[in-house]
Amino acid sequence: VKPGMVPPPPGEESQTVILPPGWQSYLSPQGRRYYVNTTTNETTWERPSSFPGIPASPGSHRSSLPPAVNGYHASGTPAHPPETAHMSVRKSTGDSQNLGSSSPSKKQSKENTITINCVTFPHPDTMPEQQLLKPTEWSYCDYFWADKKDPQGNGTVAGFELLLQKQLKGKQMQKEMSEFIRERIKIEEDYAKNLAKLSQNSLASQEEGSLGEAWAQVKKSLADEAEVHLKFSAKLHSEVEKPLMNFRENFKKDMKKCDHHIADLRKQLASRYASVEKARKALTERQRDLEMKTQQLEIKLSNKTEEDIKKARRKSTQAGDDLMRCVDLYNQAQSKWFEEMVTTTLELERLEVERVEMIRQHLCQYTQLRHETDMFNQSTVEPVDQLLRKVDPAKDRELWVREHKTGSIRPVDMEI
């Protein structure tokens, strides 16, 4: 995509063209229209066709972006003080006038843009209204373009670094939740072990009658309950703890790859910016040299001076061409970084939603298992309840008396 293409009038395209399902159009900070597939997160400068195989904008070049597999970040070293590092604006993908040209339009460019840490933004005083990619949501892709002052130091942290840190923190929280469930399992296992041991205790084992039967059932219920808790702990391990621990096992490694990907793009952008500044300085020197030789010509006319002026003019023109080429390369690098940032921040957003939903589902599974355990525990004491309702002290006394009676003849008074 060549930066500097003339965009269609804002709003005109949306009124006359129906986009294919899943596609939405937006305007870049300089008013240039681009398209986003909300299903695949693909971004392109070319208007997508409603009919497969038929290009919608002949002559344009689609920049088809492969969906990012994980996440990433750019940790650029600040080249300028982050005066407006708090800005939550998308980067300017405008034309070559962003950074300069061979003509003396630098002053006008400086009024319209501001470069922070090698990234060019619209100037806050002249910034046009920007349409958010997801205006109804607090989306990652809209609020992490600028760098932020590091609260723990004098440097800055790139917006993407904050997103990457959140992803890694989420992975750590997931790991800690798994460890928490592991502790819960241990408690269940210890509890089941103690219940089973207590069920074998011989205390009050000589109780007789219907009450003795009820007491024996009480001890048996402990053994049954122990088995319930052992099964609960086993299901916690297989259905909650293990999935939490194993979800995205290679996540940190994948995040590191993505970090390097965006960091490389940011470094390339910084390199292109340095080339622009070098070319700008060279152009200034060539123009100054040309101006000095022109003044010398006014003082004294000579063939040598005229030749020097022609040579200086050629060098100045060449320096201007070099600057334009460097600016074009810079804008291409910035456009690539911009496109990758949109795609990958949307991917990070999707990954976070997926992580939260996964944890929610497994915690719901935990509560479900807990309810089932309570139900099974209740079933272990139901036989105890039934026997306790049958306890009959009078019948127990009768049975005991029949078995242990010594005689039913009562004593009488002694006669003289």
Q: Which pLDDT does position 28 carry in this prediction? A: 64
Q: Which pLDDT does position 30 carry in this prediction? A: 57
Phi and psi, residue 118, nearest 5°:
75, 10
Domain extents for the chain? 19-46, 160-393
Q: Return the CATH fold of 160-393.
A: Substrate Binding Domain Of Dnak; Chain:A; Domain 2 (1.20.1270)
Domain made up of 19-46: CATH architecture: Single Sheet (2.20)
Q: Which pLDDT does position 31 carry in this prediction? A: 62
Whole-model pTM: value is 0.65
Q: Which pLDDT does position 132 carry in this prediction? A: 86
Residues in the chain with pLDDT values less than 70: 1-17, 28-32, 41, 50-110, 128, 298-304
Phi and psi, residue 248, nearest 5°:
55, 65
Phi and psi, residue 326, nearest 5°:
-65, -40
Q: Which pLDDT does position 355 carry in this prediction? A: 93
